[in-house]
């Protein structure tokens, strides 16, 4: 049982984690990050010119798509070009790209107008929008249109006839896949598949899933509801554990395109109205699974700063929020708040936030829906009264938001930015300063300014960090302890 039902299959048109998890099953990437956060060869090795402007990638032998066609450099070029239209880091790279072309079937050359030191880190990133490689004929689909074929070259194959939204999805071992020889390390290294088939079942009720795990009907639960975790304690046939010590950040995103949050003062009032502790306590229950944190890049990371988040970490400031609403001329415009009802890690935030926003004077219209409906609706730029929205809540793994180039909420490019679509020239300028920073200390100084600006303009509202446990049958061993759940390398005893 994964954290969510799977409905959207295209890993470019959404940042939903369940779609990303699906993509890692069937696609591969040129380079991948290991447990030390270092890019490593995956589908390709690379060389960088002395001036830092030319990157040459050479595909390794044995790469085939699931339809039997060889993977070529032209496929990789088309995939990178489609990815870069949607990804914040990819957009920055394309701004200074002179050419991206296949020199032959195995070699692609990426030439820049000027050096971009984080290029390898950007295309190796494990989440948000990793640049998965697909056949060119599929990658040529416009970046805002969902692909219709789901063919990769990864360690598993998607089984279309067993895909039923609301029920489940199946993957079978790709017997033609040639793993790398290096040991597996997070998303890098050898992806050795030891099982014939993996099936993800949709179970919207946590109690049902816990019972199914205890009885051996299922093998794995990605996120165990904290209040149900004690039911698995003491069961020697079940292992309850934290998969990733870094955990998640939960956050709220406002829609900049439509009233009332097209007004900066009203966005600031929303930030002042909210408080992390009641959100986290309702969401996780036990403080050992959460902590308040105002750092947009995650607490404990090299770029952490909590400037501007003081009221979030404390108890909010509803009186100042009321004063700002009055000053801004808030006219009681309804705030359409989307509330997912079927993902345990996303059900509490809207309820608590609605209460806090109402207490500060907002007129909140909370609309319940399943998460996959929300994932589709948040892409709509329509006015809230016409099927759009004003605010939703989501979660990010800490590595996804730990820097300004991979944190998608810091994209200020208007209609081509992430859902919410802020038009923010200053954040784009600050990111360029971060890229140009010569030392880690200089980067940290720019990151602190980015933190302050993000809070001032309310690019998003960090609501703290949490870390839910996962559970597996003891017969399932050797699961890679990566931030992303992967199903290669594990073993299942009879």
Closest CA relative to residue 152, chosen from 168, 122, 180, 176: 176
- pLDDT tens sequence across 18-27: 999 999 999 9
In this structure, what DSSP letter does residue 338 have? E
What residue has token string 């949709």? Answer: 202
Rounded distance between C-alpha atoms, residue 121 and residue 405, angstroms: 9
For residue 253, list its beta bridge partners. 392
- pLDDT tens sequence across 168-196: 999 999 999 999 999 999 999 999 999 99
How many other CB atoms are found less than 10 A from the CB of residue 177? 21
Q: pLDDT at residue 101 above 80?
A: yes
Q: Do 364 and 334 form a contact (C-beta atoms < 8 A)?
A: yes
Rounded distance between C-alpha atoms, residue 392 and residue 353, angstroms: 10
Q: Do 479 and 490 form a contact (C-beta atoms < 8 A)?
A: yes
Rounded distance between C-alpha atoms, residue 401 and residue 380, angstroms: 23
Least confident range from 136-140, 207-211, 233-237: namely 233-237
Q: Do 488 and 191 form a contact (C-beta atoms < 8 A)?
A: yes
Q: Do 375 and 394 form a contact (C-beta atoms < 8 A)?
A: no
Rounded distance between C-alpha atoms, residue 471 and residue 229, angstroms: 9
Could you tell me the fold of the domain covering 17-145?
A: Dipeptide-binding Protein; domain 1 (3.90.76)
Angle at which helices 318-328 and 264-273 cross, to 10°: 160
Q: Do 210 and 228 form a contact (C-beta atoms < 8 A)?
A: yes
Rounded distance between C-alpha atoms, residue 217 and residue 211, angstroms: 9
Tell me the three state secondary structure of residue 490: coil
Cα separation values, 362 from 304, 383, 440, 447, Å: 31, 18, 42, 32
How many other CB atoms are found less than 10 A from the CB of residue 161? 6
Q: What percent of the chain lies above the pLDDT cut of 70?
A: 100
- pLDDT tens sequence across 413-461: 999 999 999 999 999 999 999 999 989 999 999 999 999 999 999 999 9
- Per DSSP, the residues of 269-300 read HHHHH--HHHHHHHHHSSGGGEE----TT-TT
What tokens does 97 get? 């790209």
- Residue 127 dihedral angles phi and psi, to the nearest 5°: -150, -170
For residue 338, list its beta bridge partners. 367
Could you tell me the fold of the domain covering 248-466?
A: Dipeptide-binding Protein; domain 3 (3.10.105)
What residue has token string 């219209």? Answer: 365
Q: Do 242 and 470 form a contact (C-beta atoms < 8 A)?
A: yes
- pLDDT tens sequence across 285-324: 889 899 999 999 999 899 999 999 999 999 999 999 999 9
Q: What is the mean pLDDT of residues 30-52?
A: 96
**Which pLDDT value is given to residue 360?**
98
Give the domain ranges of the chain.
17-145, 168-244+469-492, 248-466
**Which pLDDT value is given to residue 369?**
96
Rounded distance between C-alpha atoms, residue 336 and residue 347, angstroms: 16
Closest CA relative to residue 249, chosen from 399, 447, 405, 418: 399
What residue has token string 């933190």? Answer: 451
Q: pLDDT at residue 383 above 90?
A: yes
What tokens does 135 get? 């056949």
**Which pLDDT value is given to residue 219?**
98
Q: pLDDT at residue 245 above 80?
A: no
Q: Do 80 and 119 form a contact (C-beta atoms < 8 A)?
A: no
Q: What is the mean pLDDT of residues 86-95?
A: 95
Residue 334: its H or E element: none
**Which pLDDT value is given to residue 286?**
87
Cα separation values, 193 from 159, 167, 410, Å: 16, 24, 37
Residue-level length of the chain: 494
Q: pLDDT at residue 234 above 90?
A: no
Q: Do 393 and 371 form a contact (C-beta atoms < 8 A)?
A: no
Q: pLDDT at residue 62 above 90?
A: yes
Rounded distance between C-alpha atoms, residue 116 and residue 136, angstroms: 26
| Helix, strand, coil in percent for the chain, rounding step 5 | 30, 20, 45
- pLDDT tens sequence across 338-368: 999 988 889 999 999 999 999 999 999 999 9
Q: What is the mean pLDDT of residues 93-122?
A: 97
Torsion sign across C-alpha atoms 150, 156, 162, 168: negative
Q: Which CATH superfamily is domain 168-244+469-492 in?
A: Periplasmic binding protein-like II (3.40.190.10)
pTM of the model: 0.89
**Which pLDDT value is given to residue 42?**
98
Tell me the three state secondary structure of residue 38: coil
What tokens does 94 get? 């394309």
**pLDDT-derived band at 156, boundaries 50, 70, 90:** very high
**Which pLDDT value is given to residue 37?**
85
Q: Report the number of secondary-structure helices (H) and strands (E) in the chain.
A: 15, 20
């Amino acid at each position: 049982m994964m954290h969510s039902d799977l409905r959207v299959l295209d890993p470019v048109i959404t940042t939903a984690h369940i779609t990303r998890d699906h993509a890692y099953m069937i696609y591969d990437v040129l380079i991948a990050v290991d447990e030390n956060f270092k890019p490593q060869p995956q589908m390709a090795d690379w060389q960088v010119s002395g001036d830092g402007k030319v990157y040459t990638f050479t595909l390794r032998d044995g790469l085939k798509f699931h339809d039997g066609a060889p993977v070529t450099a032209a496929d990789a070029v088309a995939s990178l070009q489609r990815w870069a239209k949607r990804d914040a880091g990819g957009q920055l790279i394309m701004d200074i790209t002179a050419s991206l072309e296949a020199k032959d079937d195995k070699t692609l050359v990426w030439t820049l107008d000027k050096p971009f030191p984080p290029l390898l880190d950007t295309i190796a990133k494990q989440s948000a929008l990793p640049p998965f490689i697909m056949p060119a004929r599929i990658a040529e689909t416009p970046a805002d249109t969902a692909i219709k074929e789901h063919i990769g070259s990864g360690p598993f194959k998607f089984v279309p006839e067993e895909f039923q939204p609301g029920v489940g999805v199946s993957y079978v071992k790709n017997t033609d896949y040639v793993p790398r020889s290096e040991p597996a390390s997070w998303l890098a290294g050898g992806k050795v598949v030891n099982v014939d088939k993996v099936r993800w079942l949709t179970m919207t009720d946590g109690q049902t899933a816990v019972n199914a795990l205890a009885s051996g009907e299922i093998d794995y639960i990605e996120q165990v509801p904290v209040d149900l975790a004690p039911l698995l304690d003491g069961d020697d046939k079940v292992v309850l554990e934290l998969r990733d010590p870094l955990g998640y950040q939960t956050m709220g995103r406002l829609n900049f395109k439509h009233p009332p949050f097209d007004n900066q003062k009203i966005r600031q009032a929303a930030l002042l109205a909210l408080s992390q502790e009641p959100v986290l306590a309702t969401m996780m229950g036990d403080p050992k699974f959460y902590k308040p944190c105002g750092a947009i890049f995650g607490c404990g990371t090299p770029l952490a700063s909590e400037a501007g988040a003081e009221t979030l970490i404390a108890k909010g400031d509803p009186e100042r929020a009321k004063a700002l609403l009055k000053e801004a001329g808030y006219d009681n415009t309804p705030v359409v708040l989307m509330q997912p009802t079927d993902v345990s890690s996303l059900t509490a935030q809207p309820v608590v936030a609605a209460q806090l926003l109402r207490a500060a004077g907002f007129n909140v219209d909370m609309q319940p829906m399943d998460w996959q409906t929300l994932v589709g609706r948040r892409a709509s730029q329509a006015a809230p009264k016409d099927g759009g929205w004003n605010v939703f809540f989501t979660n990010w793994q800490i590595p996804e938001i730990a820097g300004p180039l991979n944190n998608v909420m810091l994209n200020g490019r208007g209609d081509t930015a992430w859902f919410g679509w802020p038009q923010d020239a200053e954040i784009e300028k600050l990111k360029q300063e971060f890229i140009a920073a010569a030392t880690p200390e200089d980067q940290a100084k720019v990151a602190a300014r980015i933190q302050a600006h993000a809070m001032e303009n309310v690019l998003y509202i960090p609501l703290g960090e949490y870390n839910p446990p996962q559970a597996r049958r003891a017969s399932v061993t050797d699961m890679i302890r990566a931030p992303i759940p992967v199903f290669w390398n594990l073993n299942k005893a009879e």
